[in-house]
Structure 1
Amino acid sequence: MKKMIVFVVSVLFIAVFVFTNKLFYPPLPMENLSKKEAVELLNDSNKAIVKLASENGYEWYITRSAQSIADENIKKMLSQNGWLFKQKDGSGLFFEKQGDRLIATTQMWTGDYVLVKIPVTFNK
């Protein structure tokens, strides 16, 4: 009987650990940020799209994925920096500004979240 109780408690402990740390989510394409931190950054923010990291000339953002909301959040953020949306092709959203072209790529991370990769030059 004691073995069964120890087994059940162990399984519950492991399940809670995996769930609270979001270990069941796919890996993030950036370093130095845990899955749990990424989700918490968005959930704790009042913004629709939140910056996660800057790496290798790109900025990574996270947004919710429900019914094209991700695309609208990206368009809104980039239009605030003067970029004009031109078209969508696959996972890429194409923008133009004063003859320059910018491609924001999206990646479905989970059923609830989309990761967005944008060149750091979009702020200029």
Structure 2
Amino acid sequence: MSAFLDLQAGLLAYLRGQASLAVWLGTPVRVYDQAPAEVVYPYVSFGRVSAQSIGGVEADVTEQALNLICVSRFGGSEEAKAIAAELRVLLDGAELDVAGLVSLRVTYIDVFRSADQRTTYALVRLRAVTEAG
């Protein structure tokens, strides 16, 4: 379970420290594990996370798939797309301060509107590979 928590903590710290995200997500940068009840738009929150062991000779190697979800009420998809693009630039191949992190890649982006037609979501899927000590 530590790999989950360490990766999320590293991502939160990294993303909250990015000036380029502050342009879109304000200061302090609105990246949440769970969005507050009185949330300000746009924001990014953590979504589904899955992990599986992929073996390893010298250490236990785990592959994690983690979703970041951008939520926008801009009135079009441009804002959500721009934030997703910035997340991709910042995270694809990023070297975070996370113990055992071998690689981090953006594998998928999907931008779509909700049924209410007011909210646009951008799902950014990450693939992280970590090694245990």
- Per the shorter chain, which TM-score range? 0.3 to 0.5
TM-score, L = length of structure 2: 0.37
More helix by share: 1
* Greater RCO, 1 or 2 (C-alpha within 8 Å, sep 6+): 2
Q: Rg bigger for which structure? A: 1
